[in-house]
């Protein structure tokens, strides 16, 4: 297998991921669905197994050796995750996934801090996880919802954004750093700065579910007050996500869930709450999963996030022209590989995305088909669904040919 001009060695990386080496329907697997969930390197699988075989104990409670080991592993993971995104470890809250992180902010921040006259601004490009939690609290809180439209090229309409921001009423901006459908990388830092210039009280919530796994990330550079992401899309386990928040903002927020661990003291008819991040981690947390996520960020750091990004740019540089070359194929989103990530949505004239997905699967190629939990965006593109091929650090330029061959074979099979 060829290396790439970036010096990144996909062959060495691939050897670390056992899932890549299985067959599907008798064919070697070509896994192009990492935007849905990524494969896990052996070191993450080993860390999970080690947690359960050697360090099983609850955290922050026990006085015995195993409890101390489990607590140390859990807190070391918090520090590793914080370092990975340039956050203060005390502002890193472990959640179930990115979705829960958005719900936490909606319930404990938006519902409390936004009211009549305020605008909560999101975009038409958002995943449902960055739409529905705000919609849930809006009727009670009484703020206004507004959305930045998406243009036909898959970028945000920044003129309309500027118009809304000029009102000075935007109190919360919720925006994805990278679209899970069209791959667009949004100018989050610039957008956040504009919102704060017009209203210094505003906060910026960044959806990093797709960007944190693929781009070097620094919360301060992003201008994010809150950053939400999921472990399972970045080589880590399922069942763990992250809300990284500005300490002073988190400090002023009431708890999201009640129970053990999140309290200082409890009386029969009242309680006082723990400091952050523990205030937001009610009950026994995902102990093994946190350790697994710690191993995942160490793995990605060793691989080098700049190298991961360059590798994916190189794949996109080849993939987009190759898909464009197939008659009847339309690729959505930016064509400039530097302006986008490696989640590539396309439609094929005369073929339903689910049929494409099914035929590709028979060839051992795993893609996703559907609305990708971003229905407003799919509607804005004038479609009901797309097929999405998404690439990660362990994919190779060589995997683009089988994808394109299988699309041509699907066209031949359905005679379109
Ligand atoms: N997108 C996809 O196939 P959870 O489900 O909580 O781990 O992540 C939610 C989420 C939030 N924001 C963005 C931009 C996302 O892409 C996702 C998850 C997956 O595109 C599953 S729907």
Is 47-301 in the same CATH topology as 10-39+304-414?
no
**3 state DSSP class of 240:** coil
Looking at 86-236, list the stretches that DSSP marks H as alpha helix, in order from N- to C-terminal side: 98-105, 111-113, 132-141, 158-166, 188-198, 219-222
Per-residue pLDDT for 364 more than 70? yes
Ligand 1, residues 126, 230, 243: which to mutate, most atoms within 8 A of Cβ? 230
Model confidence pLDDT, tens digit, residues 167-207: 999 999 999 999 999 999 999 999 999 999 999 999 999 99
Q: Both tokens of residue 73?
A: 């592993």
Comparing CA positions, the residue from 411, 384, 397, 413 lying closest to residue 326 is 411
Topology of the domain comprising 47-301: 3.40.640
207 CA to centre of ligand 1 in angstroms: 9
Model confidence pLDDT, tens digit, residues 36-74: 999 999 999 999 999 999 999 999 988 999 999 999 999
Give the mean pLDDT of 14-37.
98
This prediction's pTM: 0.97
- The verdict on whether omega for the bond into residue 284 sits within 30 degrees of 0, i.e. cis, is no
Nearest protein Cα to ligand 1, atom 17: 209
> For position 178, what pLDDT does the model report?
98
Mean pLDDT of the chain: 97
Comparing CA positions, the residue from 394, 386, 281, 371 lying closest to residue 332 is 386
* Element at 27 (helix H, strand E): strand 27-28
Residues contacting 360, CB < 8 A, separation 6+: 366, 367, 387, 403, 406, 407, 410
Comparing CA positions, the residue from 348, 329, 332 lying closest to residue 340 is 332
Nearest protein Cα to ligand 1, atom 15: 209
Our CA dihedral for 302, 304, 307, 312, rounded to 10 degrees, sits at: 90
Q: How far is CA 119 from CA 91, 196, 263, 292, 406, in A?
A: 25, 13, 33, 38, 46
33 CA to centre of ligand 1 in angstroms: 12
Give yes or no for a contact between 365 and 387, defined as CB atoms under 8 angstroms apart: no
Per-residue pLDDT for 6 more than 80? no
Nearest protein Cα to ligand 1, atom 2: 36
Model confidence pLDDT, tens digit, residues 368-379: 999 999 999 999
Taking the CA of residue 97 as reference, the ligand 1 atom at the shortest distance is 6
Per-residue pLDDT for 245 more than 90? yes
Compute CA 252 distance to the chain's CA centroid, rounded to the nearest angstrom: 26
d(CA 146, CA 412): 44
Comparing CA positions, the residue from 300, 343, 298 lying closest to residue 320 is 343
Spans of all domains in the chain: 10-39+304-414, 47-301
> For position 7, what pLDDT does the model report?
60
Per-residue pLDDT for 2 more than 80? no
> For position 61, what pLDDT does the model report?
83
Give yes or no for a contact between 346 and 332, defined as CB atoms under 8 angstroms apart: yes
Q: How far is CA 274 from CA 79, 177, 189, 248, in A?
A: 19, 31, 32, 15
Residue for token digits 């009484």? 142
Exactly one of 228, 235, 373, 404 is catalytic; name it: 373
| DSSP-derived secondary structure letter, 147 | E
Taking the CA of residue 230 as reference, the ligand 1 atom at the shortest distance is 7
Model confidence pLDDT, tens digit, residues 249-293: 999 999 999 999 999 999 999 999 999 999 999 999 999 999 999
- Where residue 328 falls (left for φ over 0; alpha for ψ -120 to 50; beta otherwise) is left
Q: Both tokens of residue 66?
A: 């195993």
d(CA 14, CA 37): 16
Nearest protein Cα to ligand 1, atom 16: 180
What residues pair up with 369 in beta bridges, in sequence order? 387
Q: Both tokens of residue 225?
A: 């007050």
Per-residue pLDDT for 104 more than 60? yes
Taking the CA of residue 207 as reference, the ligand 1 atom at the shortest distance is 12
Instruction: Express as a percent the part of the chain with pLDDT over 90.
Output: 97
pLDDT tier for residue 401 given thresholds of 50, 70 and 90: very high
259 CA to centre of ligand 1 in angstroms: 28
Binding pocket residue ranges, ligand 1, CB within 6 Å: 35-36, 97-99, 127, 129-130, 176, 180, 207, 209-210, 230, 241, 368, 372-373
> For position 62, what pLDDT does the model report?
80
Nearest protein Cα to ligand 1, atom 1: 36
Ligand 1, residues 101, 127, 296, 353: which to mutate, most atoms within 8 A of Cβ? 127
Per-residue pLDDT for 4 more than 80? no
What residues pair up with 150 in beta bridges, in sequence order? 156
Instruction: Give catalytic status of residue 404 as yes or no.
Output: no
Taking the CA of residue 126 as reference, the ligand 1 atom at the shortest distance is 14
21: phi then psi, degrees, rounded to nearest 5: -100, 15
Give the CATH class of 10-39+304-414: alpha beta
């Amino acid at each position: 297998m060829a290396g790439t001009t970036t010096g990144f060695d996909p062959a060495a990386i691939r050897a670390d991921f056992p899932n890549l080496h299985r067959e599907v329907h008798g064919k070697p697997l070509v896994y192009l669905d990492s935007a849905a969930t990524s494969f896990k390197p052996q070191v993450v699988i080993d860390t999970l197994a080690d947690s359960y075989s050697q360090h099983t104990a609850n955290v922050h409670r026990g006085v015995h050796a195993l409890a101390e080991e489990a607590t140390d592993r859990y807190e070391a993971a918090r520090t590793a995750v914080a370092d990975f995104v340039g956050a203060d470890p005390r502002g890193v809250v472990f959640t179930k996934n990115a979705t829960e992180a958005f719900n936490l902010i909606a319930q404990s921040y938006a519902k409390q801090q936004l009211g009549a006259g305020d605008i909560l601004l999101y975009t038409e490009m958002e995943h449902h996880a960055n739409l529905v939690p705000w919609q849930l609290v809006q009727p009670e809180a009484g703020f206004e919802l507004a959305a930045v439209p998406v243009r036909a090229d898959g970028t945000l309409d920044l003129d309309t954004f500027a118009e809304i921001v000029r009102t000075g009423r935007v109190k919360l901006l919720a925006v994805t750093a990278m679209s899970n459908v069209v791959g667009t990388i949004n100018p989050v830092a610039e957008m956040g700065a504009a919102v704060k210039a017009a209203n210094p009280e505003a906060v910026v919530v960044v959806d990093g579910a797709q960007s944190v796994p693929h781009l070097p990330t620094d919360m301060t550079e992003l201008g994010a007050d809150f950053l939400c992401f999921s472990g399972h899309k970045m080589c880590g386990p399922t069942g763990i996500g992250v809300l990284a928040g500005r300490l002073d903002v988190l400090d002023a927020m009431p708890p999201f869930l009640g129970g053990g661990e999140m309290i200082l003291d409890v009386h029969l008819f009242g309680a006082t709450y723990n400091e952050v991040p523990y205030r937001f981690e009610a009950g026994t947390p995902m102990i093994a999963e946190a350790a697994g996520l710690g191993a995942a960020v160490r793995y990605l750091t060793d691989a080098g996030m700049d190298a991961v990004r360059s590798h994916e740019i190189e794949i996109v540089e080849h993939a987009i022209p190759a898909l464009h070359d197939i008659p009847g194929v339309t690729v959505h989103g930016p064509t400039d590989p530097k302006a986008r990530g490696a989640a590539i949505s396309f439609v094929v004239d005369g073929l339903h995305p689910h049929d494409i997905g099914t035929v590709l699967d028979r060839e051992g190629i795993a893609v996703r088909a559907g609305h990708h939990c971003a229905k407003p965006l799919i509607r804005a593109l004038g479609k009901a669904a797309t097929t999405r091929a998404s690439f990660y650090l362990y994919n190779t330029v060589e995997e683009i040919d089988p994808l394109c061959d299988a699309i041509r074979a699907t066209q031949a099979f359905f005679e379109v």
